[in-house]
Amino acid sequence: MFKTNYKLATLAATFSMLLLTGCNSGSSSGNSAAAGSMTLGITDAPVDGAESVIIEFTGVEIQPESGELISITYDAPRSIDLLALQGGLRDLLLDGESLPAGQYSWIRLMINAEADNIFDSYIVIGGNQYELDIPSGAQTGLKLNRSFEVPEGMSVDLTIDFDLRKSIHMPSSGTDYKLRPTLRSVATPDSGIISGTIDPTLIPTERCAEDAVYAIYLFQGPAAVIDDLAVDGDEAPDPIITVNVDLDVSSGNYSFTIPYLEPNSYTVTATCSAQLDEPDQNDSELMGFYGTTDVVVTAGEAGTINFTESSVAPL
């Protein structure tokens, strides 16, 4: 499924080392370079109003701290619907890929996403397809600056969260949507998960529109200042992730799940106006957040938050 290409210089150096080793009279047990493996998954935080978000991946590039770039190219491009990867689901971009053991500096996801009428990457809204154009995407891909280690004889497992609500920007002109990816990564085995419910009596129905999108916003640290998605230069932090709230029509209960979180303390809030939150503009006054609560995420464990009148702090 994959083709792994190391730069020619690396292969030549390795070949030379093998020749030198072959000339020695010692044991042959040290002839192979130390190696480990890597699994790389991708998941998604949702976007409003879309039926599908298709991204065409062509491979992955990985940069060792010391050494040449490693390029892993798929035999054929892979089209993945990111909207199908919610609630803890993920798709694997790499599955136990063998890599030299050591420290690594960054990962780049290679994609096809240009405004060229080919529709390799696109969004579906109201049954219509619109191209997704990632500025410089074809040249630089989606780069994630995260250092990590591949231990000798062991495997590292990372999950990349592709936050579509932050990433997709409506066209100012024409019909092509811009995709300025917001990526977050976590060591999968060390991650935790939060799930919970919202008491229907807390939902301020008088200020929720008919097309209301109910969502949970998660912020770094306890008692964090609450803000919208826009990176607008104010002192308030932007949410780490947002997830939609699902309504169980039969019971009238609202529930949510936030997967793949690093162990840490967080502040959680809710809104019924997520459809108004545009990443290009300050919409904080429109959001109508109601109540906050703090939560601590522990590695490998599932935590629960239930929004009730007695458990949340009013804003």
Q: What confidence tens digit (pLDDT) does each residue in 171-197 have?
A: 766 677 888 888 899 999 999 999 998
* Predicted pLDDT of residue 104: 98
| Opening angle at CA 85, ends 217 and 303, nearest 5 | 50
pTM summary value: 0.83
Q: What confidence tens digit (pLDDT) does each residue in 79-96 have?
A: 999 999 988 999 999 999
Q: Is the pLDDT of residue 5 over 70?
A: no
CB 258 within 8 A of CB 293: no
* Predicted pLDDT of residue 182: 82
What SS3 class is residue 184? strand
Average pLDDT over residues 155-180: 84
Q: What band does 11 get if pLDDT is binned at 50, 70 and 90?
A: very low
Q: What band does 283 get if pLDDT is binned at 50, 70 and 90?
A: confident
* Predicted pLDDT of residue 124: 95
Q: Is the pLDDT of residue 63 over 70?
A: yes
Q: How does the average pLDDT of the chain come out, rounded?
A: 82
Query: What separation in angstroms does the CA of 102 have from each of 36, 68, 149, 210?
Result: 9, 13, 6, 53
Average pLDDT over residues 119-134: 92
The H or E element that residue 287 is part of is helix 284-287
Tokens (6 digits) for 55:
């991204």
Between 310 and 303, the more confident residue is: 303
Q: What confidence tens digit (pLDDT) does each residue in 201-245 have?
A: 777 667 677 778 888 999 999 989 888 887 655 556 789 999 988
* CA pair distance 158, 44, nearest whole angstrom: 14
Average pLDDT over residues 46-67: 92
* Predicted pLDDT of residue 23: 41
Q: What band does 21 get if pLDDT is binned at 50, 70 and 90?
A: very low
**CATH superfamily membership of 192-307:** Carboxypeptidase-like, regulatory domain (2.60.40.1120)
Q: CATH 2.60.40.1120: which residues of the chain? A: 192-307
Q: Is the pLDDT of residue 25 over 80?
A: no
Tokens (6 digits) for 110:
């290679």
Q: What band does 1 get if pLDDT is binned at 50, 70 and 90?
A: low
Q: Is the pLDDT of residue 10 over 60?
A: no
Between 107 and 21, the more confident residue is: 107
How many Cα atoms are found within 13 Å in the side-chain-facing hemisphere of 126?
1
Q: Is the pLDDT of residue 151 over 50?
A: yes
Q: What confidence tens digit (pLDDT) does each residue in 231-280 have?
A: 655 556 789 999 988 887 777 778 999 999 999 999 999 888 888 777 77
Q: What band does 28 get if pLDDT is binned at 50, 70 and 90?
A: very low
Q: Is the pLDDT of residue 24 over 50?
A: no
* CA pair distance 200, 252, nearest whole angstrom: 7
* Predicted pLDDT of residue 7: 44
Q: Is the pLDDT of residue 42 over 80?
A: yes
Q: Is the pLDDT of residue 120 over 90?
A: yes
